[in-house]
Structure 1
Amino acid sequence: MCFGPIPFLNSSTPTSSSSPGSSCQLDESYKHIFLPTCYLITFLLSLALNSIVLTRCLRQPWNPSLVYMFNLALSDLMYSLSLPFLIASYISRDRWLFGDPMCRLVRFLFYFNLYCSIFFLTCISFHRYLGICHPMRSMRLETMRWVRATCLLVWAVVFAMTSPILLFARTGPLEGSEDIVTCWDDALDADLQRYMPYGLFLHVAGFFLPFSLTAWCYSRVVRTLIRTLRGGVVPGPVPGVTQRRKSIRTILTITLLFALCFLPFHITRTIFLTMRAGGEALGGCRALAVVAVCYKVTRPLASANSFLNALLYFLTKEPWGRAFRSKKEREQTGKGDKKRPTNNGQPWSNFYPQLP
């Protein structure tokens, strides 16, 4: 994530203590190397991997899992397309060269696609929860029409949630350099009190609630898979033991990556916005300087999710549904499998689509 200079922080001088009411001083020169390097790597990997995922999705027969995967890859790809502008801004030491309308658009697209990715990951987790914990209900509810409508609803809801960024984000003078124009990430000082409630709402509705739902869904899925692995639950040997264990590891990996990428960023950004609005009364300059550094360090983690999703798509051995099986294979699996594509009748292994 990227933002303009920190209010009451001077980015050109080293950190030092100051008396109440004076300006905090912070050396932020490291971000002009650290952030553009991280964003450049993210941009290249996300652009390449998600382009391949989208191309291969378009070549396959569609099923609910593939629809969600396509929309996730699309949002991640669109997210990466906003990064070159931010890279150029950081390399220019926070100078914005593209005008105020482009500043607003880039900031909007950055957050819009970030939260679309989070929402689609949540949809995928709920889709897996229904498929494994309530397979009969899933067959009734998750038709292609329903899944497509859900995806359209996600795009519309996230657009409504993030559209105020077009009003708050704008260009403004760089702190300590009135002749240099920068692109502010959240709001100028004059708009900060109005932005704070919206910023906190965006964090809660855009991340914390979806993350809670995702964690709950995957915890129920893991619980169901573990129960099927216990001896005596079903007569005779338990089928698909190896595949179910791999599925559990895949779920844990996805959940941990989700938390690692988004949780530190949203926590530090929430604290940062609160301290910024409260001024030096909330911890003083030194505390704000520490939070600001943590905020900057966690921003590339949130960006990295845009290519980690696609990377898992390639590396995992857990199929999300054999959308690519031949007609002969589908006939051999029976009528039930024709209605709902699974991995040879084993829905617990249905997490990432296999590539041809």
Structure 2
Amino acid sequence: MMNETVCPPVSRFLLPVYILVFIIGLVANGWGLKSLRHNWNKLGNVNVFVFNLGLTDILYLLTIPFLVVYYSMGSKWIFGEAFCKITRFCFNVNLYGSIGFLTCISVYRYLAIVHPMRAMGRITVTRSVIISVIVWLLVSVQSLPDMFFTKASRNKTGKCYDTTDNAHVEDYLKYTLGWTLTGFCIPLLITLGCYGHVIVVLCSTNTIDKVLKQRSLKLMFILILLFSVCYIPYHVFRNLDLWTRVLTKQGICYKWYNGVYIARQISRVLVCLNSALNPLVYLHAHENIRAQFRRLIQQAPGQIRAATTSILLQDVVS
């Protein structure tokens, strides 16, 4: 049965989220990469994946100012379709690159805890670099077809679609279902399998170092948080929203489509947060980085007081 409900217009509430993510993400990733460089020899081979995780975030964060302009102008894209496609490509590379490198970190943690003797000598920097290159290639190959879909409307609205226009929505739904399976579902199953086994080993073994056990459990919690908050809602509601668009195009429209649309917009906000939340991985990569972060937080109030005192003294002198 067809319903007369009209789908709502595109929301603008992404603007403040983009600004917040840009500021927090740039500061946190910049600090994280700097700390990673200073502790490179102490972190082990997993640092290669953490470094690449930071690179995917920086790549996406550099495109956010253009999205801020887009949403501040009422969702009107002024930079041309080619750059619209590049911006969306960077977002997809960040999204699936983050998922890929978080999966690699999960596998390395699994091998280090569950199969330490078997992994000894086999997990090298060279192999980590090779795996990282493969992840970049796979993510790029998966994301490249997205650029061949129409991304910018050619009418006066000037939209920059994160999916595509209604004329190609059926083909895009088929593409994104396969993309979801290979780029998200399979890595999610691998991550859940690795950490499910890790939990069993950590809870049943008393010989594992207590600090390592706590750090592994915290890292596991962060990864589960990232997948649950940022990635799962986005993929579920992206595909569901595309499906409702296909049905609407066929003349089938129900009231619950509006709920799907709203959930889709919320999931877009949540997935943007991954660039601000990924730096949490830095804090649990090694104790030295976490100690540096604690010192930075402790020194911050003193630095603020010193700066304030200096300003006051200058005012008194002048």
Relative to the length of structure 1, the TM-score reads 0.75
Percent identity (aligned): 30
Offset at 1:56?
2.3
Distance 1:111 1:169 in 2: 16
Offset at 1:252?
2.6
Deviations 1:95-118 (A, max 9, x none): 101111111111111111111011
Offset at 1:249?
4.1
Offset at 1:247?
3.5
SS at match of 2:273: helix
Q: Does 1:273 align with 2:242?
A: yes
Q: Does 1:107 align with 2:88?
A: yes
Q: Does 1:193 align with 2:162?
A: no
Distance 2:221 2:281 in 1: 12
Offset at 1:310?
0.6
Kept after mapping to 2: 8 A contact 1:171/1:183: yes
Letter in structure 2 aligned against 1:132:
I
Residue 258 of structure 2: aligned partner: 289
SS at match of 1:181: coil
The alignment yields a C-alpha RMSD, in angstroms, of: 2.5
SS at match of 1:284: coil
SS at match of 1:93: coil
Q: Does 1:302 align with 2:284?
A: no
Q: Note the residue ranges of structure 1 that are not aligned, 5 or more in a row.
A: 1-18, 230-237, 325-351
Offset at 1:142?
1.0
Q: Note the residue ranges of structure 2 that are not aligned, 5 or more in a row.
A: 294-318
Residue 150 of structure 1: aligned partner: 131
SS at match of 2:48: helix
Go from structure 1 to structure 2 and tell me whether the alpha carbon gap of 1:135 and 1:355 turns closer, same or farther (over 3 Å shift): farther
Go from structure 1 to structure 2 and tell me whether the alpha carbon gap of 1:239 and 1:129 turns closer, same or farther (over 3 Å shift): closer
Offset at 1:152?
0.5
1:236-251 correspondence to structure 2 within 5 Å: 240-241=209-210, 244-245=213-214, 247-251=216-220
Residue 256 of structure 1: aligned partner: 225
Kept after mapping to 2: 8 A contact 1:39/1:87: yes
Letter in structure 1 aligned against 2:280:
L
1:60-79 correspondence to structure 2 within 5 Å: 60-62=39-41, 63-79=44-60
Asked which structure has the greater RCO (Cα within 8 Å, sep 6+), the reply is 2
1:82-121 correspondence to structure 2 within 5 Å: 82-121=63-102
Relative to the length of structure 2, the TM-score reads 0.83
Aligned length: 291
**Equivalent in 34, 42, 61 of residue 80 of structure 1:** 61
Deviations 1:116-149 (A, max 9, x none): 0110000000010011101122123211111100
**Structure 1 or 2: larger strand share?**
1
Offset at 1:260?
1.6
SS at match of 2:153: strand
**Structure 1 or 2: larger helix share?**
2
Distance 2:28 2:93 in 1: 20
Distance 1:283 1:126 in 2: 44
**Equivalent in 193, 209, 218 of residue 216 of structure 1:** 193
SS at match of 1:172: coil
Deviations 1:228-248 (A, max 9, x none): 14xxxxxxxx57446524532
**Equivalent in 4, 28, 33 of residue 54 of structure 1:** 33
Q: Does 1:44 align with 2:26?
A: no
Kept after mapping to 2: 8 A contact 1:222/1:251: no
Distance 1:163 1:124 in 2: 25
Q: Does 1:125 align with 2:125?
A: no
Letter in structure 2 aligned against 1:95:
K
